[in-house]
Chain A
Amino acid sequence: MKLEKLNPSVKAATVLLSVIMLSFQYNITLNLTVFFSCLFLLLFFSNARVKHILVILAPALLAAFGMFMMGLYYAKGNSITSAELTEISSVPYAVRAAMSTNLQSALQLGTRILSYAGLGILFALSTDGEEFISSLMHQCHLSPKFAYGILAAFHLMPSMVREFSQAKLALRTRGMHVGPFSLKPVFAMLVNSIRWSESMAMAMESKGFAGNEPRTFYSVTKVHWYDLVFSVVCLGSILIFI
């Protein structure tokens, strides 16, 4: 049983609900448990590559560290009272000084980011984009007009990349400096993309696509019993923690 087999809409709803539930909790153990279970599920019950997991987690770890430092220094400290800080004690002064800042809330914030990141990659790395759209169409009544519009835009990405580099080249041939953050090539690319979207819409219509007319489907995504089990187990375990 792989995570990829689960219905994408149910998976998305489960992840979203978990995030909402976690955001009302201040439980470090719960946050860490969620994070590590997500990693565990991804590593052993999905086809996600370890490299991808690490690449996506890197910025999340940075953000978690940032939140940790913020919580540590800028939250009102109460781990240790100022009386204790000034008293003579066997604990070195530096440690006591660090504890005068708020370790507890720092850890809460940092681990919360980690748990969000874990849930996020759990969904992102085990879900096929097309399947998700198809599932949104069948389970969440997304109109085919939007669904296929999104898919078409998604598949235009390689052309957009090519277009962007061409726009940059065009500017350079005209003797203009193009830095990595120049907006001019972006503008040229967007103008062309608008024209493309029109051509694309016409091409789709000419093949009989009518946004709101009834249509058949090659494959219909369904909700199975194991989807519900997954959802109930995930949400249930968080509830028990609370």
Chain B
Amino acid sequence: MRKEEFPVLQLEHVTFRYYENAKRNILDDVSLTILAGGITVLMGSSGCGKSTLAAVSCGLLPENGGYLEQGEILLYGKNLAEMNQSRRAAYVTMMFQNPDLQFCMDTLRKEMQFCLENICIPSDQMDLRIEKAAKELGMEALLDKKLHNLSGGEKQKAALCCLYMMESKCMILDEPFANIDEEGTRELIQLLDKMKKLRNQTIIVIDHRMKYWLEAADEMILLGEGGKVLARGMNRENIEEFYPLFQQEGVFYPGVCQRVTPVRNMEVAACHLDQVSIFVKTGRVRRQLLNQIDARFPKGAMTAILGPSGCGKTTLFLAMLKQISYEGRIQFGEEVWKKKEQFQHMGIVFQNPANQFITQNVRQEVESSIMQWNPGIKDVECACLADHMMEEYGLLRFHRYSPYMLSQGQQRRLAVLSVLAGKQNILLLDEPTYGQDYRSTTAIMEQLTEKIQKDGLTVIFTTHDEELAHAWADQIYRVQEQKLQEEMI
């Protein structure tokens, strides 16, 4: 229960858009008040303006772009626009989705010094505060390690540690777990709970996965299109009443990922792993990731690979694509492909699809793939084929957009489309649900299921989401202690 009942953050009729002439307002007349103390979770479908809301509340927008059409933001009753960054930081600090882009120094200790310099703490008090914060959150061991060598979860903990040390009254976390596995997530939530209890800080979290928060959250708020508040005052006791609303908005609701795929014939294998071992080199240390694993990926079916981040799932994909060296044998049925031919048979969609676009608009992206795989095709034919494919994937109306302007879900669809334009029959997907809500996850999985039924596509995907794996996969492998174990469905 909240002890103090005064407002920390008040948004009054806030209207915001990124481009002056944009037709749509990202935030459309949003009014929201958040009271002090406790953990508040803001949920909503992808693209509903959650992240924008967070950035606007911290004053990062419109200062870094966009137009605040109308409205006022009050932090502890004071107008945000009249404060400078250094003073704002005393009231509100923010943590972001991407763990790689939060630090400007190379070790946590230096980053913490940077934070304290920002808020003008005298230098003789710095060491004391750094040690104290690190001790309270159990981060001492990481203080002097190079940040870029830490895992995603550790980086996010480091970011939290900075915010904790700055002692701002309120913290906003923008999808803090999008890049990390379930174990890392649990640790972070424990840390947040600890911070709340130690300091009585107000914590506002943006996320679309409720299941992580049911225990820790004091209040949950559901946002709809344009950042409008659809429901608030939700907590673990009354959440069931709101189920229809969640379904309508396409937001993850725990336990609704039900198994929908029919049982498929899995007798023919598309790919065999025979005693495969993989090593990676970081600096001068050679580390074993996978140790003599055996696996069999059935043709025309979906296989999920589960496991914590950094356990070698992505690396296994790279080995299957013959991009890194490995020991053992990886076989694709009877066929033997040369390294160069590999990509005519297998496609990969990266964790962050924005990394794999090679042109400036959606149409070119698809057409360049078609041209590549069908040398000598006529322009008209190519355009026609591209139209057809984009239609099928619901991307036709964006055909002149830059791929970078699409939402995460659309980007992933485009990535799948441009990879499959070559008629590959094995598709590797790395974390297909990364940063996506229930609706677009379902959309992409349904599309793949259809492809499997129609063309006999073989799909292998990695994920940390157990529910997703159980709902869609025909076969599940789990990476555990350098081994790959098959799991019952």
The contact string, 1 if C-beta is below 8 Å from chain A, for chain B 108-137, is 001001111111111100100000000000
A208 touches B86 (CB 8 A): yes
Q: Give Cα A67–Cα B263 distance, bound, in whole angstroms.
A: 75
Chain A residues near B418: list those with CB within 8 A: 174
| Residue in A159, A207, A214, A217 whose Cβ sees the most chain B Cβ within 10 Å | A207
A170 touches B358 (CB 8 A): yes
Output the least CB separation between B339 and chain A (Å).
10
Using C-beta atoms within 8 Å of the partner chain, give the interface range for chain B. 35 or more
A208 touches B123 (CB 8 A): no
Output the least CB separation between B113 and chain A (Å).
4
A188 touches B355 (CB 8 A): yes
| Residue in B118, B120, B404 whose Cβ sees the most chain A Cβ within 10 Å | B118
Q: Which one, B87-95, B224-232, B249-257, B474-482, is touching chain A?
A: B87-95
For A199, the closest partner residue in chain B by CB is B101
Chain B residues near A196: list those with CB within 8 A: 101
B419 touches A207 (CB 8 A): no
For A159, the closest partner residue in chain B by CB is B100
Chain B residues near A203: list those with CB within 8 A: 94, 96, 101-104
Any A CB within 8 A of the CB of B337: no
Output the least CB separation between A210 and chain B (Å).
4
Q: Give Cα A214–Cα B404 distance, bound, in whole angstroms.
A: 37
Tell me how many residues of A have a C-beta within 8 Å of chain B: 44
Chain A residues near B95: list those with CB within 8 A: 206
Chain A residues near B354: list those with CB within 8 A: 192, 195
Among candidates B98, B114, B163, B368, residue contacting A209 with C-beta atoms closer than 8 Å: B114
A218 touches B96 (CB 8 A): no
Can you list 11 A-B pairs, Cβ within 8 angstroms, ordered by A?
A169-B318, A173-B348, A174-B419, A192-B355, A203-B96, A203-B101, A207-B89, A207-B114, A208-B88, A208-B118, A216-B123
From residue 194 to 242 of chain A, which have CB atoms closer than 8 A to chain B? 195-196, 198-210, 213-219
Nearest first, the 9 A-B pairs at minimum CB distance are: A208-B89, A152-B104, A208-B118, A170-B356, A210-B85, A206-B94, A218-B113, A199-B101, A158-B148
Q: Give Cα A203–Cα B159 distance, bound, in whole angstroms.
A: 10
Output the least CB separation between A239 and chain B (Å).
40
B86 touches A210 (CB 8 A): yes
Chain A residues near B126: list those with CB within 8 A: 218
B104 touches A204 (CB 8 A): yes
Any B CB within 8 A of the CB of A5: no
| Residue in A151, A152, A201, A205 whose Cβ sees the most chain B Cβ within 10 Å | A205
Chain B residues near A171: list those with CB within 8 A: 358
A209 touches B85 (CB 8 A): yes
